[in-house]
Amino acid sequence: MNKIKNVVNEELIFDILEKYKNPSKDTVINILNKGLKKKGLSIEEVGILLNTEDISLIQKMFQTSKQIKKEIYGERIVFFAPLYLSNYCINDCEYCGFHIRNSEKRKKLSLKEVEEQVKILIGMGHKRLLLEFGEHPEINNINYVIDVIKTVYNTKLNNNKIRRVNVNIAATSIENYKKLKCANIGTYQLFQETYHKKTYEYLHKGPKSDYERQLFAHDRAIKAGIDDVGLGVLYGLYNYKFDTLALVSHSKYLEKKYGIGPHTISVPRFQPAPTVDLKLNYTINEFQLLKIISIIRIAIPYTGMIITTREKPELRAKAFEIGVSQTSAASVTSPGGYGKEKMLQQFFLQDNRNVDEVMNSILQQNLIPSFCTACYRTNRTGKTIMKLLKSGKIHELCRPNAILTFKEYLEDYASTKVKKLGIKVINKYLKKIFNKKIKNETLHRLKRIENSERDLYF
C-alpha cells in the first residue's frame, strides 16, 4: 500500500480538494502567473485550479495554457493513427466493447492483413501508428506483437512507410517490455483508466483488475529501457478532479524517480460502445474537458498531450488551441477496419472526417500538421528531448521538420484545396525559422521533396 501511496496518495488528494475549495481570484491569478514561467505547478496548486469554477477565471486559465502551448509547441499538431490488431481479450472492463462477455465474433489480423491495413494507412498520409491489442496471453502473445511491429516497419507503399510505431498493450513484465524496446517502439502507452482504487477494482475483472500491475507498468517499461511512456485517464469513470490530480501526481512520481516524466498524457472521455451498458455517475461535459486540458498544460508544460477522434471536430479545435499537441485522424476502432466494413468496434467515434478534411481544418486554424518522427529516430527521447524542450531550442528542429513532413503530405496525398492552403501556411512559418543556415537548408530540402525525395529531417 505504501508503494502505491508514493504514486497516488488518495487521502492527500481528497484532503487537497477539500481544503482548497472556492479559491479566491487572487490565488488563482497568482498560480496562473506562476504557470507562465513554464516550471509546472505543485499538487496543491493543481488542486486549486481544479476547484476553480468561476467562468471568467477559467477563461483566464485557457489564455494561460494557450500561451504556454504556443511557446513550447508552437503551431504544430502531430498526427498519428491507431491500428487495432486483435480484439480478443480475457478482461471484463465494464466500459469497453471488447470485454470478454461480448459474444460477437472476434478478429485477429494475420501478418498479411497487417500489411494490407498498413498500406491503407500509408496511403492516407500517416507516418506514425499506435498499435492496439486486447489482452490475451495466448492469442495476442508478445511474439505476435513483435511480429506485427516488424511487419509494420517493413511495409512500403511507393516511396513511403511508417516511421514510428507506438504501442498500447496490457501491462506486462520487464522481459516483455525489453522485447518491445528491441523491436524499436516509440512510446509505450497505457492508461490507468481511473486512479481511484476501489472504483478501478469495481470496473475491472480479469488480470487487468490488478491495480498495482497497471499502476507500476510504466516503471517496468522504463526499467526495460523504454524512455517514452504515455499516461492517461478514461474520464467518466470517476471524479475528474481526483483523477486529474492523481494523473499529475503519477507524472511527478515518474519524473522524480527516473528523471523523465511521461512523454504524453491522453485525456479520453468514455464513449458509447457495443454491448456496454454502463451507468456513469461522473460524466464530464466539454467545458470540463477543456478545463482539464488547460490545467494539465499549465501543470506539466513539457509533456505532449493527446486528444483523439473520440471527440467532435469543434471540441478538438479548441483543445488544439489551449493545450493539445498530438492527435489522430480518420481512425477506426476495429481490427481490419480501415477500408473495410467495420467489425466489432471498441467504441464509437465522434469525428468521422477523412484526413484531408482534418488537415483543412487545422490549416484554417493557422496551425501546421506535422508527421514528424525525427526525434525518436535521432535518439532525441527521454531526458534528451526534455532538455531540448526546456531550452526552447526544439523549435529550430521541430518547425522545419513539421514543414518538411507536411510538404510530403501535400505532394503525395492532398486535395488541390488543401495543397493551396497548405503552401500558404508553410510560407508563413518558413518566415519564422530565424536560423539562416537551417532556413536555407529547409528551402533546399523542400525542393528535394518536390523532386520526389522523401524522409528528410533535422
For 61, the 3-state DSSP assignment is: helix
Least distance to ligand SF4 from the beta carbon of 97, Å? 7
Return the residues of window 134-173 that contact ligand SF4 according to CB under 6 A: 134-135, 170
What does residue 266 show for φ and ψ, rounded to 5 degrees? -110, 150
Which of ligand SF4, ligand SAM, none is residue 229 near (CB under 5 to 8 Å by kind)? none
Beta strands 160-161 and 156-157 are antiparallel
Which of ligand SF4, ligand SAM, none is residue 192 near (CB under 5 to 8 Å by kind)? none
Least distance to ligand SF4 from the beta carbon of 88, Å? 9
**Residues linked to residue 269 through DSSP beta bridges, in sequence order:** 235
Query: Which one of the spans 27-35, 107-115, 267-275, 377-385 is the region binding ligand SAM (CB under 6 A)?
Result: 267-275
Beta strands 204-205 and 92-93 are antiparallel
Instruction: Closer to ligand SF4 by CB, 91 or 151: give it.
Output: 91
Return the residues of window 308-327 that contact ligand SAM according to CB under 6 A: 310
Cell of 169: 498493450
**Residues linked to residue 266 through DSSP beta bridges, in sequence order:** 232, 306
Cell of 441: 537548408
Query: Which one of the spans 6-14, 101-109, 127-135, 198-206 is the region binding ligand SAM (CB under 6 A)?
Result: 127-135
Helix pair angle (436-450, 394-412), 10° resolution:
10
Residue 40 interacting with ligand SAM (CB under 6 A): no
Query: Which one of the spans 2-10, 93-101, 195-203, 243-251 is the region binding ligand SF4 (CB under 6 A)?
Result: 93-101
Least distance to ligand SAM from the beta carbon of 331, Å? 12
Contacts of 387 (CB under 8 A, 6+ apart): none
DSSP secondary-structure letter at 365?
Answer: T
CB 104 within 8 A of CB 157: no
Which of ligand SAM, ligand SF4, none is residue 235 near (CB under 5 to 8 Å by kind)? none
Helices (H), 20-78: 25-35, 43-50, 55-73
**Residues linked to residue 231 through DSSP beta bridges, in sequence order:** 265
Query: Which one of the spans 159-167, 177-185, 187-195, 252-260 is the region binding ligand SAM (CB under 6 A)?
Result: 187-195
Which helix or strand (DSSP H or E) is residue 16 part of?
Answer: helix 10-19
Return the residues of window 202-221 that contact ligand SF4 according to CB under 6 A: 208
Query: Which one of the spans 48-56, 103-111, 270-278, 321-329 is the region binding ligand SAM (CB under 6 A)?
Result: 270-278
Residue 216 interacting with ligand SAM (CB under 6 A): no
Residue 96 interacting with ligand SF4 (CB under 6 A): yes
Least distance to ligand SAM from the beta carbon of 268, Å? 5
Query: Residue from 75, 94, 132, 228 that binds ligand SAM (CB under 6 A)?
Result: 132
For 49-84, give one letter per residue: b (16+ CB within 10 A) or e.
bbbbeeeebbebbbebbebbbeebbbbbbbbbbbbb
d(CA 50, CA 250): 17
Residues within the interface to ligand SAM (CB under 6 A):
95-96, 132-135, 168, 170, 190-191, 193, 234, 268, 270-271, 273, 276, 310, 346-347
